[in-house]
Structure 1
Amino acid sequence: MDTAAEQRLQDLVLLRRVRDRIDREYAQPLDVAALARGVHMSAGHLSREFRRAYGEPPYSYLMTRRIERAMTLLRRGELSVTEICFAVGFSSLGTFSTRFRELVGVPPSAYRERASDLSGGIPPCVSKRVTRPVRNQEARAAALPLA
């Protein structure tokens, strides 16, 4: 195997560590520079390679994880929107609501109302897959016909 291929494999291992850390520590204050330091990469290199491997930059991946978790907590209905905002790692209710609306299409409170009406009898594993937030680029790509 040539050195370029070996380096790519090593980068993929490191990128997986970063993704696993985001999945595990999504509620903690994470930024790209800290994630990059954790795997001894520059922030720019991490962002480029993460996007290449996973289709979105690390910060967007983190926001998606936080919103997915918030969606789950909203469906359960045990916490207020403000409590959920802080529980999933946001430090501002305004930022949380804006990001939530960007990814889900409705504000958190409206999502909670809809989810309580629709989720009866749906297994959690199916609900998680069906309700996964979709970024605008993903929605546009899915809508484009394959030529």
Structure 2
Amino acid sequence: MRLRKARDRMDRDYALPLDVPELARTALMSPGHFQRSFRAEYGETPYGYLMTRRVERAKTLLRRGDLSVTEVCIAVGCTSLGSFSSRFTELVGETPSAYRARPHESGAVIPPCVARRFTRPKRRPQLP
């Protein structure tokens, strides 16, 4: 329940500057215990989870095409364009610019909970 509060906060406030000590306070845990517990429960670090949320939102903004990659980076709460681009490429498999430039299907009316399940970025396996 306490971890879920922190996860819900990341889902809701992804564009705000969040750090592990602040999220740990939300979960009423020490930062170290929070990181270990979060990873055990959700399979990724708190920072990894937060960046995945940010990339999901960035994909939506980039599909619209009315914002530059830099504007999208700032809108989703990232402060470094390089880190944002690297993480986006790692999760999506193409750069934010390439993703923005290619045509996208117009989204049929799909409930957000279903769309989130099937459009969530997956970590690409590392090449040997």
TM-score by length of 2: 0.86
Asked if 1:15 is matched to 2:3, the reply is yes
User: Which of 68, 73, 77 is the equivalent residue of 2:65?
Assistant: 77
Does the 8 A contact of 1:119 with 1:127 survive in 2?
A: no
Distance change (3 Å), C-alpha of 1:113 and 1:130: farther
User: Which of 119, 125, 134 is the equivalent residue of 2:105?
Assistant: 119
- Structure number having the greater helix percentage: 1
Instruction: Tell me the equivalent position of 2:16.
Output: 28
1:77 is displaced (CA, Å) by 1.2
Q: Number of paired residues?
A: 124
Q: Please give the alpha-carbon distance, in whole angstroms, between the structure 1 residues aligned to 2:110 and 2:54.
A: 17
Structure 1: tracts of 5 or more residues without a match? 1-12, 141-147
Cα deviation 1:2-38 (Å, max 9, x = unaligned): xxxxxxxxxxx10000000000110000111111122
Instruction: Tell me the equivalent position of 2:40.
Output: 52
User: Which of 80, 83, 87 is the equivalent residue of 1:95?
Assistant: 83
Identity %: 61
Distance change (3 Å), C-alpha of 1:128 and 1:36: closer
Distance change (3 Å), C-alpha of 1:21 and 1:88: same
State the one-letter code of the partner of 1:100: F
Asked if 1:63 is matched to 2:38, the reply is no
Q: Please give the alpha-carbon distance, in whole angstroms, between the structure 1 residues aligned to 2:26 and 2:85.
A: 30
Bigger RCO (CA 8 Å, 6+ sep): 2
Structure 2: tracts of 5 or more residues without a match? none
